[in-house]
Amino acid sequence: MFKLHRHRSDRLEEKVQFKFSSLQAIKVPRGWDRLMLSIILMESGKVLAKTGKATVRSGNCQWTEAETLWVSQADASQDLEKCQFKIVVSLASSRPAVLGEVILRLADYLGKEDSGLLSFL
């Protein structure tokens, strides 16, 4: 689940709050015992946040902590409406391995009051 909110600071710089919680991965293949999520700003490739490691049990994995990101016009050189994130699910170990990823475009969720669901295969 995630929520987006727009805020203006005293410097008239527009910011967007991106909050996600209650995330889970289902039908995780065998051999993937601990997972983590990374949120990456597509334009710059900058990693904005990483979750803690979560344990896979019976093919399911859930992150209990919530993450909040603030994205300003300075972070995204283009309009915030054109800003995109990549959410990457990967193995939480020293060897890099990506289970899946999803691309999220902020404009699809700006102005919505309710939480939204994301899913990918």
pLDDT digits (tens, 9 = 90+) for 20-45: 777 888 889 998 999 999 988 888 88
- Confidence check: pLDDT of 84 > 50: yes
Which pLDDT score is estimated for 120?
58
Using a cut of 0.85, tell me whether the model's pTM lies above it: no
- Confidence check: pLDDT of 63 > 70: yes
- Confidence check: pLDDT of 10 > 70: no
At residue 9, φ and ψ (nearest 5 deg) are: -90, 180
- DSSP letter (8 states) at residue 85: E
Q: How far is CA 46 from the centre of its chain?
A: 12
Which pLDDT score is estimated for 58?
93
Task: Identify the three-state secondary structure at position 93.
Answer: coil
Show the domains of the chain with their CATH numbers: 2-108 (2.60.40.150)
User: Is the CB of residue 6 less than 8 Å from the CB of residue 46?
Assistant: no
